Every structure is written in C-alpha cells, then in structure tokens.
Structure 1
Amino acid sequence: MTIYVNKASGITRPEDLNGKKIGELALYSHDAGIIPKGILMDEFGFKPETCEWVIGGLDWPMKPIDFVPMPHPANVSVSMIAEGKELGAMLEAGEIDALISADNPKCILEHSSNVGRLFEDYPTVEREYYLRTGIFPIMHTVVIRKDLLARYPQLAQSIYNGFCDAKKACMEEYLHGKIFNNMGTMLPWFSHLIDKDIALLGDDWWPYGIEANRKAIDVILRYHHEQGITDRLYTVEELFVGDLLHT
C-alpha cells in the first residue's frame, strides 16, 4: 500500500490515520488514492471525512490540475498545497502526518529517519490481501473516443489485441530469461520472484481485459461511490465496450 507516515505523528497502525492531516498526490480522487482509502475503509474502519487532506506535488511544486473534475464530498476537507510547498518535504518535516502517493517521495528513497511506510513489510501484506480477496488492484484503463469507435467498430478489439501481444512478448522474455537466471536485468533473484508471483497469481500474472479484472473493477467502482467521487454506483457494463466484456 502506498501510504507513508511521519514517525512523530503517532501513526503506528491503520486506525491511527483517522483525524490526521494527510497529503495526496495530484488529486483527491487520483486512482492510487481511491484504492488505499477503500481498502482502509473495508479493513480498518478508516473514515476519510475525519481527516484534513492536502493535495499537491510530491517533490516538486505542482500547479492545481484543472483538466479533470475534482469532486469530493462536502463533509471532506480538501485544500491545495501552499505555493512553493512539496508533499514529500512536508511529510519529512511533520507538516503533514501521512502521505498517499503512487510514487515514492525522496525522503523515503533516501531513508530519512523521520518517515516510514505504514506497512513496512508491504509485499507480505499485499500478497496476503490478494490471497484472501482475489483482488489485484488496478490503476489505468485505455479510453477511446466514442466517435472514433463509431467509425471504426473493430478499434477497441484491435487496441486490446495490441496490448496483449506486447505483454505476451514481455512475459516470454522474462520466462526465457530464466534459462540464464535473467542476468540481463541485473536484479539478483529476479527469476525466483517470477516463480513466486506465478505461484500466487497464476501463469497470466498481469491479466489484461475486463472479465479477467472484474473483481478489481467492481471494487474500485464501489470505492468511487462510497468516497463520494461518483453520485451513484456504476457497473462494468455501463463503462466498457460490450465487445470486450468477456476478455
């Protein structure tokens, strides 16, 4: 989980996040924020409305994003970061208690003694979560304009096939590389990690497609609604191209 804490904040367990001042990268509703909040709500009784949220750049000043809507419930306090401020530096200085981000702040990468992860052994926590729920959280989708799809009905299938072919080539390279212990990656025990992931996630350890990710899609749609980002609960069928529903 991408949750970082200032060690002087008193946050030692997920429940301690309630009532805290929390930074979030770029948008209150960014995808790598929706998912951790939702899991924390499901698993630990987290209540985002009890917190004060500060939105901004990680280790660089960021102007407010104005090309997408930024909805949030009226009972949730959300403000943009002060001009010239950076969330990573604020976390290290204790100006915010915690940070939710898709990317690692510099203070984490540099092993600052002031900060740490909420879940230090995050691979074990995440693997246990997948084993228990069958959900591998997703982030990005591919979007096609409706007018293009109307002109080229096979476009969605073609794009999907192209992504699948590219993924297959990558996976085959990793698997073939096991013959040589994947020395080209310069990562010790990389082949062992591949075996470990396949044992947990299956031969298609990074599935593409709608049906292959339905549980994860359903849960993130629920999280959007529960967190007040959408005004109703959307369904998979409403949002995705019908021809690809069984992929």
Structure 2
Amino acid sequence: MNLSERLKELRTEKKLTQKKIALKLNVAYQVYQRWEKGERQPKKESIENLATVFNVSVGYLLGETNIKSGSEIDEIMEKLKVPRQQKTIQFAKKQLIEQTEEDKIVQLHNSLIPYEIEEEQSLSAGRGEAYTDEVGKEVVYWDKDIKHDRAIVIRENSMEPDYHYGQIALIRYQSCVDINGDIYAVDDVERGLAYIKSVYVEDDYIRLVSLNDDIDFEGNRLFPDILLPRDENTRIIGKVIEAFTPIEKV
C-alpha cells in the first residue's frame, strides 16, 4: 500500500474530512487533496506531521510495515500472559532471522553479473570437444565481475579438481603460451576440437596435460597427455583466467 492509499485509509478510519486533516496540518485543503490522490508527494517534514496526526509510524504511513506504531506492539504484549509473551518473542526472532536471510538472497541476486556464453561451443576437459561456427548465445550469472573476451562451457572432468564439468571458463585472448603449465584454451583446427588444458610448449609439439591423474584398473592414466604439432592447425585461443559455476537467478 502506498502513501496516498494509507492517507485515505487512515482518514476514513478516523471519520475525518480532507479539510479537517488539512486544517490540523496547517496546509491548504487542495495540497492535502493532491497528497491523497497521489498527484504530489509531501516533503519529509509533512510526512512526519501526517504520521503524528494519524498516530502511526512513518514506516506504516509509507507502506513499509503493517504495524501502525510501536505502541500497538506494546499494547498487544501487555495483554498477553508471560508464557505467550515468550512465545511471541521467540516467533518474532525467528521471523527476523528468516527475513534477514531472504534479504541477503535478494541482495545477492540483485548484484549478479550477467555473462554471455556461447551455447554451441565448449571446451573439453577430456579428449577433445567438437565445435561449430554456428554460435548461439545464452546468459548465465555470477557474483564477480571479471574482464574477459570469451565465456565457454567446460565439458568432461580431466581438469578436476580445479575445473569442473559444467563450469564456465573465462578466457582472455592470447595467441601464445607465456608460461608453461598455465591453463589455456587450445584449438585443434584440423580435427575441429577445442581443449582446456595445462599447456607446455616443446620443440615440435604443444603438450596438453590434464590435472586429473586418475588411472584405470591397468594403471593407465584416464587422461593421457595430448601432443599437437606446432603448426597452423594448433591455435592458442587464450588463457583461462577464471572458471565459475553459474548462480541461478530467481
């Protein structure tokens, strides 16, 4: 309920005319009439005077609470016996905790940063992920604002425990490897595959190394190193500067 609706409600409850309220406030009748119609917003001092005239809190007058005044709560508590007073206080505390948590969630979701990801593109944390030139867009959300050039979904789990399936990799364009062992997005042009790997540049090859060192029952690594030739078919897309799990926006 907004201010104009509250004014009309309270005036009607007290069975007063607009002219009588205006007289109590020492303002012109037309001025109060505009307040009640919502055509004009009273100043802070006038709102406080209105609250005094109607014997309610400013918060109630503005529609921020449904409790008319602190005295209303006191009157109710005084009428309750001690055991019921204690139950009322416990219930009120529980409500306050729930409200605080809800406010935190709302505040978080209002501050979420949108990230536009490429629906058809993904980076393989495995043996390679096929990609296409037909790129759709989807928006996901996170609570940090990181400057980046591309945002792409990670598939498979060869880069665990640091990077997980379904996370979003944020990439900053970089055409070469400046530090061996850092995490890069790599494009195998010839086979149409893209990877997220720890990258090492060797004499004739670029070695793609998985962080996940799990082995099979024969003792072989589930995700062995991948060697790509150092030629035009191997392209460094960029460095992975961050990865995150999207937060669902409600």
TM-score using structure 1 length? 0.20
Greater Cα radius of gyration, structure 1 or 2: 2
Higher share in strand: 2
